[in-house]
Amino acid sequence: MKRYRNGEIWDFEHEMPVMGNEVILGLDGGTTSTVCICMPLLPVSDPLPDPLPVLAKAVAGCSNHNSVGEAAARETLEQVMADALAKSGSNRSAVRAVCLAVSGVNHPTDQQRIVKWLREIFPSYVRLYVQNDAVAALASGTLGKLHGCVLIAGTGTIAYGFTEDGREARAAGAGPILGDWGSGYGIAAQALTAVIRAHDGRGPETNLTSSILEKLGLSSADELIGWTYADPSWARIAALVPVVVSCAEAGDEVANKILFESVQELALSVKAVVERLHLCGEDGKDSFPLVMVGGVLEAKKRWDIGNEVINCISKEYPGAVPIRPKVEPAVGAALLARNCYMKEFCKEL
Amino acid sequence: MKRYRNGEIWDFEHEMPVMGNEVILGLDGGTTSTVCICMPLLPVSDPLPDPLPVLAKAVAGCSNHNSVGEAAARETLEQVMADALAKSGSNRSAVRAVCLAVSGVNHPTDQQRIVKWLREIFPSYVRLYVQNDAVAALASGTLGKLHGCVLIAGTGTIAYGFTEDGREARAAGAGPILGDWGSGYGIAAQALTAVIRAHDGRGPETNLTSSILEKLGLSSADELIGWTYADPSWARIAALVPVVVSCAEAGDEVANKILFESVQELALSVKAVVERLHLCGEDGKDSFPLVMVGGVLEAKKRWDIGNEVINCISKEYPGAVPIRPKVEPAVGAALLARNCYMKEFCKEL
């Protein structure tokens, strides 16, 4: 096994007594943080225990190679895996499978590159699976099964789907310039725009004006221009979504229109994936999991964007089974690793 | 008068013989270039000669203080004025008025700051006028008169209007995040979005896909995501507008819809300004200049966005007099300087 260049990351393996039981690692690497879960390798024959026996969880910073660069992303991922193993009193020799689900993995070449350096850390018998982070979100709802459609709507949005025979499709996830209008960023940018348009006479008056200006500590809609371009980070703008929801709940028409349109946009992404994969079958009534993840869908307010999206989808596809995952995506990744490992293991028998 | 710190900018004043005639300077400072025009101070009683007697024109880089910083913006503006004076065989002692119309000037504080350092260059009897660059564009159509509405649509878009009694109003000009949808950037971003949506099943097929991919040398719509975020400069994206116009002319429905919507957006900006200033008078039929400026409006194609906007405005305001300026904005700024100077001069008599 690889010794880390400064010898620190894996030093714990020599310093502590180690359990002998086999484990799996699941990683969810997003643009803000990276989570690693260490779980025991559960026998395939048994039903999954509830709650799931998580041995340890470790958290680190961003591991999107597009954001922080390849070297920093690798170091973050390696460190978070070592932390999870150390916390669980285990080490690399106990690992049987790793599922690494990270944002920014879109092409087979991305996967191959990451598998290659993971292989420097783990010996050849360890199964390595590299996926887009949307896949971990799906698996967190299906408890490891790659079937159905996941809709993620946080700062950004993407719909990702898999069929049981291994086909996959995605919709949206192309960022704000390229039309991810149902995302948190999309909702908030529409709200800011509505304020500007009301101010300069292009649009109707809206309570979004006073609510947003108060939230940002500004005194005039003019000042929104400076605020917006001073730091146009997507998450900073998306943080205004709760203000939009509050205004809509209080009856503001402009805010309601923005939220209704975002529901349509989000539902459209799901429909595009369902249609391309024929997830609803020939008669349109087949059952499939519809996993809902992300801050925009978890609002738990009276104006519940997630529920509205589900209503919209269910009308068209009565077989859609909405799931709001009880476990986090990194657990989904771990369960995915377990399922893939078991499948391959059974094939070999 | 100020000696420039390294003594170079104004050295020509000691090195060449100088005409005695009075001149005015007009500057148009945008985000890509800065133009300075030197004109003789024409007597107010005479009609403006055609063509206008431009003594010299000098061109320099960006002078938007938001883009390049205050010091660089000042140096660029000072250099381009010195160049224009040197080329015209004149010098600062002949200058009677300067109109500096630069983008990024939005508040009285911006104006005051710039007037202050201009005053270090020119003695107290020189009249100094500092305006937003949209004002120079208006004046280029009205030949120096501050009355009417100008619509600028290039990479960005803004509508700016003035009444004869000195009130002013603007609409749009808040950048792409805040809803400048009719701009060149807006049109092109909608087109890119349409390609992504057709690709992932959220939108109808469109010829924009093959046309844009061919234009950018890409082989798949997937690659547009990388292309877009590799350098999301607004001008780079706006450069795709001619492709959208070509597709619309060839009958593509998606491209046509994008252009029709941009016409509505641009017309809406003008209407907002006209309404707020009551430019059309009580009965809605008063005459006012509608100056049209910028690449999006000057397409001169079969699908003429500018003409469609004019049609749209004229239906509502029959008194709107569309003007496509024959002179550039810097000339407008020079004529504005002349008019303001003459007005103040006459007041003093």
Mean pLDDT for the stretch of residues A127-134: 92
Structure tokens given for A98: 């790793």
Are A54 and A181 in a shared domain? no
Are B132 and B245 in a shared domain? no
- Distance between CA atoms of B271 and B161, rounded to whole angstroms? 10
B4: in domain: no
Chain A residue whose CA is closest to B158 = A200
Instruction: Give the per-residue pLDDT at A283.
Output: 87
User: Tokens 């509830």, residue?
Assistant: A50
Model confidence, pTM: 0.89
Are A80 and A38 in a shared domain? yes
Return the percentage of chain A with pLDDT > 90, whole number.
67
Nearest to A178 among B172, B224, B273 (CB): B224
- β pairing state of B56-60 and B95-102: unpaired
Is the pLDDT at B280 greater than 90, yes or no? yes
Q: Provide the domain count of chain B.
A: 2
B6: in domain: no
Is the pLDDT at A266 greater than 90, yes or no? yes
Are A127 and A41 in a shared domain? yes
- Distance between CA atoms of A129 and A169, rounded to whole angstroms? 18
pLDDT in tens, B190-241: 999 999 999 999 999 999 999 999 999 999 998 998 899 888 788 899 999 9
A1: in domain: no
Return the percentage of chain B with pLDDT > 70, whole number.
94
- Distance between CA atoms of A145 and A335, rounded to whole angstroms? 8
Q: How many residues does chain A have?
A: 349
CATH number at residue A184: 3.30.420.40
Burial of B204 (0-12, 13-18, 19+ CB in 10 A): exposed
Nearest to B172 among A200, A237, A275 (CB): A200
Contacts of A275 in chain B (CB under 8 A): 201
For residue A201, the distance in angstroms to the closest alpha carbon of chain B comes to: 5
Instruction: Give the per-residue pLDDT at B299.
Output: 62
Closest CA to A238 of A179, A198, A284, A181: A181
B310: in domain: yes
Task: Please answer whether residues B151 and B159 qualify as being in contact, where contact means their C-beta atoms are separated by less than 8 angstroms.
Answer: yes
Return the DSSP state at B154.
S
Q: B105 or A219, which is more confident?
A: A219
Q: How many CB atoms lie under 10 A from the CB of residue A241?
A: 26
Contacts of B223 in chain A (CB under 8 A): none
For residue A188, the distance in angstroms to the closest alpha carbon of chain B comes to: 10
Contacts of B225 in chain A (CB under 8 A): 174-175, 178
Are A342 and A316 in a shared domain? no
Instruction: Give the per-residue pLDDT at B107.
Output: 74
Task: Please answer whether residues B325 and B291 qualify as being in contact, where contact means their C-beta atoms are separated by less than 8 angstroms.
Answer: yes
Nearest to A192 among B172, B178, B192 (CB): B178
Instruction: Give the per-residue pLDDT at A103.
Output: 81
Tell if the CB–CB gap between B169 and A224 is shorter than 8 Å: no
Closest CA to B292 of B247, B272, B322, B319: B322
Question: Among B61-65, B184-188, B260-264, which stretch is predicted with the lowest mean pLDDT?
Answer: B61-65
Return the DSSP state at B22.
-
Closest CA to B261 of B319, B326, B162, B193: B193
Instruction: Give the per-residue pLDDT at A149.
Output: 98
- Distance between CA atoms of A232 and A229, rounded to whole angstroms? 5
Chain A residue whose CA is closest to B277 = A201
- Distance between CA atoms of A129 and A271, rounded to whole angstroms? 28
Are A108 and A163 in a shared domain? no
Nearest to B200 among A192, A229, A272 (CB): A272
Burial of A33 (0-12, 13-18, 19+ CB in 10 A): middle
pLDDT in tens, A43-54: 776 788 888 899
Element (H, E) at B24: strand B23-29
Handedness of CA B211, A66, A327, A145 (dihedral sign): positive
Q: Quickly count helices (H) and strands (E) in chain B.
A: 13, 10
Torsion angles phi and psi, residue B130, rounded to 5: -120, 130
A3: in domain: no
Mean pLDDT for the stretch of residues A125-138: 93
For residue B222, the distance in angstroms to the closest alpha carbon of chain A comes to: 9
ipTM confidence score: 0.88
Tell if the CB–CB gap between B171 and A202 is shorter than 8 Å: yes
Are A110 and A258 in a shared domain? no
Burial of A47 (0-12, 13-18, 19+ CB in 10 A): exposed
Instruction: Give the per-residue pLDDT at A6.
Output: 54
Tell if the CB–CB gap between A224 and B106 is shorter than 8 Å: no
Instruction: Give the per-residue pLDDT at B297.
Output: 94
Is the pLDDT at B20 greater than 80, yes or no? no
Structure tokens given for A172: 């949206």
Burial of A52 (0-12, 13-18, 19+ CB in 10 A): middle
Question: Among A340-349, B66-75, B273-282, which stretch is predicted with the lowest mean pLDDT?
Answer: A340-349
Q: Quickly count helices (H) and strands (E) in chain A.
A: 13, 10
Tell if the CB–CB gap between A193 and B179 is shorter than 8 Å: yes
Q: What is the rounded (10 degree) CA torsion for A275, A278, A283, A287?
A: -110
Is the pLDDT at A226 greater than 90, yes or no? no
User: Tokens 């894996």, residue?
Assistant: A10
- β pairing state of A148-153 and A157-162: antiparallel
Return the DSSP state at B46.
S
Instruction: Give the per-residue pLDDT at A234.
Output: 86
Task: Please answer whether residues A306 and A325 qualify as being in contact, where contact means their C-beta atoms are separated by less than 8 angstroms.
Answer: no
Chain B residue whose CA is closest to A160 = B200
Provide the number of CB pairs (under 8 Å) joining chain A to chain B.
86
Closest CA to B303 of B268, B262, B261, B256: B256
Structure tokens given for A306: 């997630």
Tell if the CB–CB gap between B202 and A275 is shorter than 8 Å: no
pLDDT in tens, A178-216: 989 999 999 999 999 999 999 999 999 999 999 999 999
Task: Please answer whether residues A77 and A64 qualify as being in contact, where contact means their C-beta atoms are separated by less than 8 angstroms.
Answer: no
Contacts of A232 in chain B (CB under 8 A): 177
Instruction: Give the per-residue pLDDT at A4.
Output: 53
Note the maximum CA span of chain B.
72
SS3 A37: strand
- Distance between CA atoms of A245 and A250, rounded to whole angstroms? 9
Is the pLDDT at B268 greater than 80, yes or no? yes
Task: Please answer whether residues A99 and A333 qualify as being in contact, where contact means their C-beta atoms are separated by less than 8 angstroms.
Answer: yes
- Distance between CA atoms of A39 and A200, rounded to whole angstroms? 57
Are A165 and A311 in a shared domain? yes
Closest CA to B98 of B75, B129, B74: B129
Give chain A's mean pLDDT.
90
- How would DSSP label each residue in A213-228? HHHHT-SSTTHHHHHH
Are B280 and B343 in a shared domain? no
Domain range spanning residue A81?
A: 12-143+328-348
pLDDT-derived band at B7, boundaries 50, 70, 90:
low
- Distance between CA atoms of B298 and B296, rounded to whole angstroms? 6
Mean pLDDT for the stretch of residues B244-258: 97
Are A336 and A213 in a shared domain? no
Chain A residue whose CA is closest to B201 = A272
Nearest to B178 among A172, A177, A193 (CB): A193
Are B57 and B95 in a shared domain? yes
Are A134 and A217 in a shared domain? no
Tell if the CB–CB gap between A237 and B268 is shorter than 8 Å: no
B5: in domain: no
Instruction: Give the per-residue pLDDT at B16.
Output: 64
pLDDT-derived band at B135, boundaries 50, 70, 90:
very high
SS3 B41: coil
Torsion angles phi and psi, residue B21, rounded to 5: -75, 145
B172: in domain: yes
Structure tokens given for A340: 């893939």
Tell if the CB–CB gap between A178 and B192 is shorter than 8 Å: yes
Instruction: Give the per-residue pLDDT at B19.
Output: 56
Tell if the CB–CB gap between A169 and B201 is shorter than 8 Å: yes
User: Tokens 């990479």, residue?
Assistant: B155
pLDDT-derived band at B319, boundaries 50, 70, 90:
very high
Task: Please answer whether residues A183 and A157 qualify as being in contact, where contact means their C-beta atoms are separated by less than 8 angstroms.
Answer: yes
B308: in domain: yes
Mean pLDDT for the stretch of residues B59-81: 87
Give chain B's mean pLDDT.
90
Nearest to A189 among B169, B171, B177 (CB): B177
Among chain B, residues having any CB pair with chain A shorter than 8 Å are: 106, 169-172, 174-175, 177-179, 189, 192-193, 196-197, 200-202, 222, 224-225, 228-229, 232, 237, 268-269, 272-273, 275-276
Give CA separation, B303 vs A252, A270, B248, B280, in Å: 38, 36, 7, 28
| Chain centre distance of CA B333 | 11
Task: Please answer whether residues B129 and B337 qualify as being in contact, where contact means their C-beta atoms are separated by less than 8 angstroms.
Answer: yes
Q: How many residues does chain B have?
A: 349
Q: What is the rounded (10 degree) CA torsion for B85, B90, B93, B95?
A: -60
Is the pLDDT at A21 greater than 90, yes or no? no
User: Tokens 């701009």, residue?
Assistant: B183
